[in-house]
Chain A
Amino acid sequence: MLLVTVFVIPQRNKFIRIKKAFTPIIKTIYLREEIMLVVFFRTIIIYIMVIIFIRLMGKRQIGELQPSELVITIMISEVVSLPMQDSDIPLVSAIIPAATLVAFEIILSYFNLKFEKFRALVQGHSLVIIRNGVIDQKQLKRLRMTVDDLMDSLRKKDVFDINTVEYAIVETDGSLSVLLKPEHRNPSAKALGAVEDDTGLPCTVVIDGKIIESDFKDCGMTREKLDGILKNQKIPLEKIFLMVADNSNFTIIERNDDA
């Protein structure tokens, strides 16, 4: 009894006091962890959602986006980022506007494809700004483009002399297309009489010892043909790092470094 009174009770009281003192801290940490977990799961959900939306919108490089597509991409990123960080905002507030924007973008692109007048209304027309080496100043003003901007764009196309340009066209996405005068164009293989046989698309047949059979039909490859090539070259499949082939039976084989 004395032992309990002297040692156990003070120890227990001490433990209770410590527990009481630490309870708010533990609760805060636990609450923070919970909030962090909510943010973590929200981020995963939004990430998956954005990937699906981007896939639905289709493949285009950032530089090739139409103005409306660029604006919609920025808007989607803005709309989804808020509920990702702030757990006070319901996820639906991100999903509904993002899904609506994507759906309208797809429908708009369908109408663009089908109706020319609609396309002209939404995307505008491409404009010719240089004809036979002469700048169309009226179009340049219409585009609010300075001569410096034009020269800059031409230089990026490796054109340093306006006189060599037959046509320069500003496309609807803002990029510049240039057609040089015939005397300044690079001669084609046909013009030089150096046309080679069409060897088709070179495709990857083996990567790191694994056969990529999905690409076989693009280069007329078969499993038997591949086995024959490997037998002739005396290379086991697992020692190949990269193998590329085309329709003309031309193959490039790179061995594994550790082979």
Chain B
Amino acid sequence: MKRIAAAIIMLTLVLTSCIASIRVLQKSSTELIELLESAAFYAQNEDSNSLKTATDKIQTNWEKSRKQLSLFLPHSELDALSITIPTLSDFCCDEAYDEYLEACYESVHTLEHLNHSTKPRLENLF
């Protein structure tokens, strides 16, 4: 009976951690996507002051999210973002808006892909 209790506790923990991981990923990716889209808007308007503030926010947010996401996502998938996001501040300083936009959209696509690939959908199950 003790083993059954241990098994049920283990299953509960596994399910809770799975749901928690999906929630964390959804929250982090949504926040980052919103920030990246607003930064892309500032880059399109060539608003350098707002762009700098948005880029700093993206950096801070990414640093925070990366630690959480690396607990349950393959590190290679996060590496792509770890390379692209730090380049945003360089493009912002150089006022290279086209490159900034490109990096922004690339990051958004990667985040959306990560978000979709972890959802328990039929196409992900099979």
A residues lining the B interface (CB < 8 Å): 56, 58, 87-90, 92-93, 96, 99-100, 102-104, 106-107, 110
Q: Which residues of B contact A88 (CB under 8 A)?
A: 74-76
What's the nearest-Cβ distance from chain A to residue B20, in Å? 11
Residues on B lying within 8 angstroms of A by beta carbon are 3-4, 6-8, 10-11, 13-14, 17-18, 21, 70-76
Total of A-B residue pairs, C-beta within 8 Å: 52
Closest chain A CB from B15 CB (angstroms): 9
With A99-B14, A103-B8 in contact, is A56–B71 under 8 Å at CB? Answer: no
- In the complex, how many angstroms separate the beta carbon of B12 from the nearest chain A beta carbon? 9
Q: A88-B76, A90-B73, A92-B71 are in contact. Are A102 and B7 (CB under 8 A)?
A: yes
Pairs A–B under 8 Å by Cβ, sample size 22: A56-B3, A56-B10, A58-B3, A88-B74, A89-B75, A90-B70, A92-B17, A92-B21, A92-B72, A93-B74, A96-B17, A99-B11, A99-B14, A100-B11, A102-B7, A102-B10, A103-B11, A104-B7, A104-B11, A106-B6, A107-B7, A110-B3
> Which of the residues A89, A103, A106 comes within 8 Å of B74, measured between beta carbons?
A89
Residues of B near A106 (CB, < 8 A) are: 3-4, 6-7
Closest-by-CB residue of A relative to B21 is A92
Which A residues lie within 8 Å of B8 (CB)?
103, 107
Contact among B10, B11, B18, B71 for A90, CB-based, below 8 A:
B71
Given contacts A90-B71, A106-B6, contact A96 B14 (CB under 8 A): yes
Interface SS, A side:
helix
Compute how far the CA of A106 lies from the CA of B10 in the bound complex, rounded to whole angstroms: 11
CA distance A89 to B72 in the complex (A): 8
**Distance, CA A92 to CA B75, complexed state (A):** 12
Query: How far is the CB of B77 from the nearest CB of chain A, in Å?
Result: 9
Give every chain A residue within 8 A of B75 (Cβ-Cβ): 87-90
Inter-chain contact A107/B4, CB cutoff 8 Å: yes
A88 to B14, CA, bound (A): 21
Q: Compute how far the CA of A100 lies from the CA of B73 in the bound complex, rounded to whole angstroms.
A: 18
CA distance A208 to B77 in the complex (A): 57
Whole-angstrom CA separation of A146 from B10 in the bound complex: 43
Q: Which residues of A contact B21 (CB under 8 A)?
A: 92
A90 touches B7 (CB 8 A): no
Contact B10 A103 (CB under 8 A): yes
A100–B14 touching, CB < 8 Å: yes
With A58-B3, A106-B7: A90-B74 Cβ-Cβ less than 8 Å: yes
Given contacts A88-B75, A96-B14, 8 further A-B contacts (CB under 8 A): A56-B3, A88-B74, A90-B74, A96-B17, A99-B11, A103-B7, A103-B11, A106-B6
How far is the CB of A75 from the nearest CB of chain B, in Å? 15
Closest Cβ of chain B: how far from A151's Cβ, in Å? 40
In Å, the complex CA distance between A87 and B79 comes to 13
Instruction: Determine the chain B residues whose CB is within 8 A of the CB of A89 once the complex forms.
Output: 74-75
Lowest 5 CB-CB distances: which A-B pairs, in order?
A106-B7, A103-B7, A103-B11, A103-B10, A88-B75
Q: Is the CB of B18 within 8 A of A96?
A: yes
Q: How far is the CB of A99 from chain B (nearest CB, A)?
A: 5
Q: Which residues of B contact A100 (CB under 8 A)?
A: 11, 14
Bound: A185/B111 CA distance, A: 73
**Which of A58, A87, A92 has the most CB atoms of chain B within a 10 A radius of its CB?**
A92
Q: Which residue of B lies closest to A89 (CB)?
A: B74
**Is B4 touching A110 in the complex (CB atoms < 8 A)?**
yes
Q: Across the interface, which residues of A come within 8 angstroms of B18, CB to CB?
A: 96
What residues of B have a CB within 8 angstroms of the CB of A110 in the complex?
A: 3-4, 7
